[in-house]
Structure formats: structure tokens, C-alpha cells
Amino acid sequence: MFRIRTFALGAAALMALATVGCGDDSGAEAGADGNVTLTFVNAQDPGTFDKVIADFEKANPTIKIKQQVVPFDDLNSTVQSRLGARDADIDLYDVDEPRLAAFASRGFLEPLDDLKSQAEGRIDANALKITTFDGKQYAMPRWTSTQLLYYNKALLAKAGIKAPSSNPATPVTWEQVTADGKKAQSAGARYGLIFDQVDRYYQLQPLPESLGGGPGLTGDGLLQPDVTNAGWTSAFTWYHDLFASGVAPRGINPEQTPGLFATGAVAFFAGGPWNAAAFDKEKAVDYGVAPFPRFAQGKPATSTDSWSTGISPFSDSKDAAKKFLAYMTTDPAGATATTSNNIPVQQQAFQTYLKGLGGKGARYQQIADIIEHSVAGTAVSRPITTGYVDFESVLNKAFADIRNGTDATTRLTQAGEELERALAKYRK
């Protein structure tokens, strides 16, 4: 899943969550004076929604928004547990977009077709599509995402390597990056290439997609595994060899990968636009940016999608919740107020975001150009299916095994068999 890394919340925050619904004063409270307090459960950095909430409350003094921030790893289980008990103390909550189908099929999301009519023409059409299931709008998208290639200018110069072009329409190939990474290692770089999320479907999906392998699922409801076709086998054989040859390091997790690039140990780093701010803060590496690579015999493909917001069907204040949700997602001012390091899908807010990036200098203008091109032309969404959670879990384990030495063809065959069993329960 795409996410900007956040600090884990402590035990006190978890305890506060545990007491919700036990007679406290949380949830959608309708006071005697007609005021309403909405509870918004989310897994974002502290402060992410402070401005949009303050602006909304100023314009709507009878509606107050109370946040409950849950650690990312606990969000889905927390929400499922509480909504499974028909807990009315959640009004709005973060929806991890590939999990939307599972939540909707279990009756955990209020249909929002009335908001969809407001959003059409204002919100990116693909973002609306990815938050639709069974012909109904079940959440409102806030943000999207993409990937790009960072490179260490000093390491490339030392090895006599020509820097990849920043032109969004002409991405370098993975084969060229691999060769250049090896050359950089010969000149002293510790590693040639590393991925930010080394064994997560979110970032690795574009590899087989580039070679025409598709998302890994097919058939009715996208519940038939398709991870052993030529595109998947070729892509993950290359990925296996990247680690087997030592171009990329084994034995690390996604929390460690940005630090390797930020400290000057890696020639190339595949990551998101959000990594740029962290690299700037470190000030230890002079880096350039280029579009996310493609395979020589393939097409450009980039990760996409992010977080959306849904409304609980058990909320007692759905109208007030919809009013806040519409402001946060369809109104350009509201959508801009939630942007931070995230890419908004509200079209006017998106242009404001790009302009803001460009105002930070030439390198950020290149990032803005890459974002605009990839969101419009190379983005591949994760599959909309009720079996997504099982699908992602099986594949993430397979990716970890492949990068740690297991033959790609053998492991993908095993993953296909595991998926056949895991997805059977979702087929009607």
C-alpha cells in the first residue's frame, strides 16, 4: 500500500481507541442546541486534516469534527471490528482504496452516489472509478500517487554514467538502470539500485504491467489468479536477479531503504514524490529525478491511487458527514487544504499542487512534470476485488521470497496455487 511513513502511536492512543463505544462522549453527537460532532477515524500524520477541519468548522459552526488517529497497521482491523458490531461512534473513516470492495461487500460503507454527481468534472475520473464497486460510489477519493526514479549525481558522474532524462515521455529502461547500477558499483557505490517498497504489491505491480502481464488477477470479479504468465515471469526473474547479483541488497525492509539513498550508498532509488522532502532534509545527497523506468520490450506503467474517505452506514449524522466529505474532496479550497505532501485528485487543487511544486525550483518542476504525465497516462490501479487483501498478502510474501533467493518461476507458481485456494471463498 502507498503511504508516507508515519510515527507509530503509543499505547495511550490505542487505549483511547479501545474505550470508544463504551459510553464515552464520542461519535456523532447531536446536542440539544442542534450542534453535531462527527468522529473521523484516520491513519494520517498528526496535523494532516487540521486546516481543512478548521476551515469547515468556521463555515459550518453547528458541525464539529473530532479525529481519532489510528496507527496504519491497525486501521483496517479496528474499523472492521467496530463496524462489524454496528458501532455508531464512527461517522467517517479512511478507506485504503484497494480494500474498498471488501468493505462495501460487507455493508461497511454508505453509498455516495449523490456526492458522485457533485464530483464528476471536479475529481479525476479514474479516482472516482477506483472508489466505485458494483456500480455504486462507496467513498470519495482525496489523493493519488505515483512513482519516479531518483539518482545520485555524484555516483553517476564518478562512474562516467549519463544521467537518465527527466522527460516524462522518455523513461529509461530497467535494463539500462541495471547496467548503470553495476557500473556505479564498480566505481565505488555500495549498491546500484533499490526500491522503496521492496516487497509490496503497490510498488511492484508496474513491473509485470510494463510487460503486458496485467495486475495478476482475471476472470469474473477478478478472483482468478494470473501470476504465471510471461509478463509476470519475466518481470520477477529480472527482480530476482537484481538481488542475486548484489545490485540491490537483501535483508532490509521498506523502512530502511530511503536511508540508504539519502546517505549516498545507492546510485538509483525507485520511490515516490514524497521521498524528495526527506532527501532534501538530509542534505547528504545531490540527486536528480527521472520518470519511473519501463522494460525495453514493454510500456511505461506506474503505481497510483491512495486514500479515500467513506461514511459509516451506522452513523446517526450522515447528512452532516456528507457535507464535510463534499467540502474535503470536491471543493478546490477544501481539497487543497488536505494536500500536504499528497497529490490531490480534485482537478483545481491538483493544478495548485503542481504550481506549488514548480515554485520550489527546477528539480521540483521536473517532479511536477513527471507527476502530471504519469497520473494522466501511465498509472495502473490495483485491482478492484473483494479478494484483494488475500491477494496482496500472498504476493507480498512471494516477492520477499523472490528477492531473498527463491526462483521466480517456482515461487510464482506456488503463489498462484495459494491464491486459487484463498480466493475460492469469494466466488459466487
Q: What is the pLDDT of residues 319-360, one digit of tens each?
A: 999 999 999 999 999 999 998 779 999 999 999 999 999 999
Residues 6+ apart with CB under 8 A from 197: 203, 204, 254, 257
Query: What average pLDDT score do residues 145-155 get?
Result: 98
pLDDT for position 29: 54
Half-sphere exposure of 92 (CA within 13 A, CB side): 30
pLDDT-based confidence at residue 26 (cuts at 50, 70, 90): very low
| Residue in this structure with the C-alpha cell 542534505, named with its chain if needed | 283
Same fold, 36-143+306-371 and 148-304+382-426: yes
Q: Cell match 482491523: residue?
A: 77
Instruction: Yes or no: say if 172 and 165 are a contact pair by the CB < 8 Å rule.
Output: yes
Residues ≥6 apart with Cβ < 8 Å to 418? 394
- What is the Cα Rg of the chain in Å? 22
pLDDT band at 283 (very low <50, low <70, confident <90, very high): confident
Q: Half-sphere exposure (CA, 13 Å, Cβ side) for 214?
A: 13
Burial class of residue 45 in the structure, from the number of CB atoms within 10 Å of its CB (0-12 exposed, 13-18 middle, 19+ buried): middle
The answer to whether residue 25 scores a pLDDT higher than 90 is no
Q: Are 349 and 63 in contact (CB under 8 A)?
A: no
3-state secondary structure of 337: helix
Find the largest Cα–Cα distance for the chain. 73
Residue 347: CB atoms within 10 Å: 16
Q: What's the pLDDT at 31?
A: 56
Burial class (CB in 10 A: 0-12, 13-18, 19+), 176: middle
Residue 30 confidence (pLDDT): 57
pLDDT at position 28: 53
Q: 148-304+382-426: which CATH number, 3.30.930.10, 2.60.120.10, 3.40.190.10, 3.40.50.620?
A: 3.40.190.10
Residue 136 CA to residue 226 CA, distance in Å, equals 27
CB 228 within 8 A of CB 412: yes
Domain map (residue ranges) of the chain: 36-143+306-371, 148-304+382-426
Q: Are 309 and 100 in contact (CB under 8 A)?
A: no
Distance CA 71, CA 370 (A): 31
Residue 262 confidence (pLDDT) above 80: yes
Q: Angle CA(95)–CA(71)–CA(203) in degrees, nearest 5?
A: 60
What's at 408, amino acid-wise? A
Output phi, psi for 192, to 5 deg. -90, -40
pLDDT digits (tens, 9 = 90+) for 373-404: 999 999 999 999 999 999 999 999 999 999 99
Q: Which of 218-232, 278-292, 315-329, 412-426 has the lowest mean pLDDT?
A: 278-292
Angle (CA) 73-426-91 rounded to 5° is 45
Q: Which pLDDT value is given to residue 24?
A: 39
Q: How far apart are CA 405 and CA 243, in angstroms?
A: 8
Say whether 3 sits in a helix, a strand or coil: coil
Domain 36-143+306-371 has CATH 3.40.190.10: yes
pLDDT tens digits, one per residue of 175-229 = 999 999 999 999 999 999 999 999 999 999 999 999 999 999 999 999 999 999 9
